[in-house]
Amino acid sequence: MNNKKLNHIGMIYIILLFIVYEKMFKIAGFSINIYVHGLFIILIFFYSITGNLKLDSSPSKCNTAFINNLIFGIFFIFYKSLSIFTTFIVFSLFQLLAYRFIIKIKENRKSVIDKCLNVRSFIKFLIDSLGIILGIISAFIFKYGIFWRDFFKEEYVYIYLGVFLIGYFHMRMNEKSWSYTNIIDLFNLITLNIISGLIFLIIILTKLITYPLTILLLSIVLAICFQFFCRYIFKMRKFYGSKNKCHNLEIEKRTLIYGAGEAGAILAKESMTNPMFPYHIVGFLDDDPKKKNTYIYNIKVLGNKENLEEVIKKEKVSEVLLALPSLHSSEMRNIVDRIKSVGNVEIKTVPTIAEILENRELASQLRKVRIEDLLGRDEIVINDGNIRNLIEGKVIFVTGGAGSIGSELSRQIAKYSPKQLINIDINENSIYFLELEMKRKYPNLELISEICNVREKKKLEILFAKYRPNIVFHAAAHKHVPLMEHNPEEAIKNNIFGTKNVAECADKYGVERMVLISTDKAVNPTNLMGATKRACELVIQHMNKVAKRTKYMAVRFGNVLGSSGSVIPIFRKLLEEGKNLTLTHKDITRYFMTIPEAAQLVIEAGSLGNGGEIFILDMGKPVKIYDLAQTMIKLSNSNVGIDIVGLRPGEKLFEELLYDINSAVKTENKKIFITKIENGEVDITQFFESLWEAGQHANIDEIKDVMKKLVVSYKEASYL
């Protein structure tokens, strides 16, 4: 049916072209003979073989304008007449317009008339055409003064304009937005005018017309100037029109932008173009002394960072926008402290480039400064090639795939086109919502969610046999220290024996690599959770010795910002409720890392391992939790206090990542090290039976006795 429809439309198109073609030759004074008809047949033949009669949006093999030039050029060789040129211009314009009209009708738009006869496009076409006409007439006036009419001929306008419009419609210049004219649009317009002028020059040199060569360049320049001016007017109309609308809004927030770079300029520009821009910008601050007293979109740069407090007070600023997306966390912390010292001033920051891409308007993405921004570290650099070689085209298992680390591992893995990604978790709600999120972001990803407890070895074997994974990331574990102190048998069952089950299945079913997610609490553990994670590392080291095909390795790092049950979400909840923040000890410190950073480094570490390594991640400097709590209170503008409640069972004041920092071995990634583990030769197989028995009896003392023999560095924390 579609083919018949296409044929009918094609026939109508050819008939229309023939009518116009014949009429133009008659107007030009040519007799309609076999040569004229033969020329048309040749024209249609070339349209057909180059795909220009398909009448759809698919690209053709050759442009119709080129074919028209070729055929009419041949005709012109035999009939050297200006009429041929006129016929060529009119026919080409009609053919281009008819072609696009038919295509747009076939696109099933809501309003074909609005699309084809767009008022804005028509006005742009008229203005640009007027620019050509005025350019030519003005050139004659400059040259000949009041006697310009004696030298001017209308055919100059018709021919030049005809040549210009063929290129104009071909380049779709009338469809370009003048309100958002950029340098590329201006360059294309200049190119079009120059090419049109060159073609017109060729016509002059062939003696078809007698145009004064001395004013040809002036005609082109004046036409371009007029066209540029009209686009500038449209652009300024958008700026100032929107600005007036914005000022009609009763906005009292006097806002200072810190940073007069690209991000700050975008905000200033948006304040003029976005009628709903919710800030009254009083000025900029920037560290570059050259920018002081300059203007960006009519907004003055008032000074540098030395003037921060002074400007906030003088201009009665109620909000500061930090337009420095690449600002280091330590510098941002210093700026935030200085702003907060002035008074109750709200602070917001521009998002990262990745966040900006999610939304067009920058103002709508301004957000409050997060604690993550102040605790963040230098941007990590990963070896994309290593990760791609590890993941691309492979079947990947992620156990604990719905947890904080496991879910982020899945997000990062999905970027590298695995053959299959299988998420394994016991929490059906979390894994369900993760699956919905992943399918929205990665529609082409073959994602499979499996409900499975890593304690159940039979179910694990079914999954390993079914999918035959190449890589396994093992993130399933119990992690909360106080809960595991109270339920140590669960830590043994899930952490130790769950790891053992996954590791044995990996070897049995020919997995290439298995990566264990460990923790800094495994170093000189003072609690059962940390001791069981150290035991997991021993399981991995043992399996690496006995396995035939699989390489085993572990990755150890500290706390991750915003993970489930971590300190920052807890503090945020208390601040929302207006309650005092609770802290176990004033001197307690912890290492922190962002979840995406941890996930990326885990994957890369997995690509670097040769088997048996314990990788450690550079966690930077430890953070004092008391200082963290104070900063969060400042950012929230809350009046709550901090309560010291005492250390919990098994809790350390200071976390460790290494036994001996001098034994760490560097890798090709400066953020990843290999640690030489003490007591690495402990044979964990001797303890499996006693651990199992202790776990079944749920006897805390018995479990602790076994764990102290297995993990010799495990010493219970003592509290006064």
DSSP string covering 500-547, please?
A: HHHHHHHHHTT-SEEEEEEEGGGSS-SSHHHHHHHHHHHHHHHHHHH-
As given in the structure block, the two tokens for residue 693 are: 């028995």
Which residues face 349 on adjacent strands? 322, 367
Contact indicator for 566, 560 with CB cutoff of 8 Å:
yes
Give the distance, in angstroms, between the CA of residue 80 and the centroid of all CA atoms in the same chain.
58
- DSSP letter at 150 equals G
Query: Chain centroid to CA 47: how far?
Result: 42
DSSP string, 311-351: HHHHTT-SEEEE--TT--HHHHHHHHHHHHHHSS-EEEE--
Bridge partners (DSSP) listed for residue 50: none
Give dist(CA 91, CA 17) in Å, integer: 8
Given a contact cutoff of 8 angstroms between Cβ atoms, the answer to whether 638 and 605 are in contact is no
The tally of CA atoms less than 13 A away on the side-chain side of residue 125 is 18
Q: Are strands 299-303 and 295-296 parallel, antiparallel or unpaired?
A: antiparallel
The three-class DSSP label of residue 617 is strand
- Pairing mode, strands 513-519 and 471-474: parallel
Is 476 in contact with 424 (CB distance < 8 Å)? yes
d(CA 525, CA 16): 87
List the structure tokens of 310.
């002074």
571 close to 631: Cβ distance less than 8 angstroms? no
CA 351 – CA 356 distance, rounded (Å): 6
- Cα(410)–Cα(347) distance, rounded to whole angstroms? 33
CA 528 to CA 483: how far, in whole Å? 10
Q: Which residues partner with 397 through β-bridges? A: 422, 472
The DSSP bridge partners found for residue 643 are 582
Q: Are 179 and 269 in contact (CB under 8 A)?
A: no
* Whether 650 contacts 482, CB under 8 Å: yes
> 262 near 324, Cβ under 8 Å?
no
Distance CA 92, CA 42 (A): 15
Q: Which residues participate in catalysis according to the annotation?
A: 521
Token digits of residue 442: 């990665």
List residues bridging with 319 in a β-sheet.
255, 346
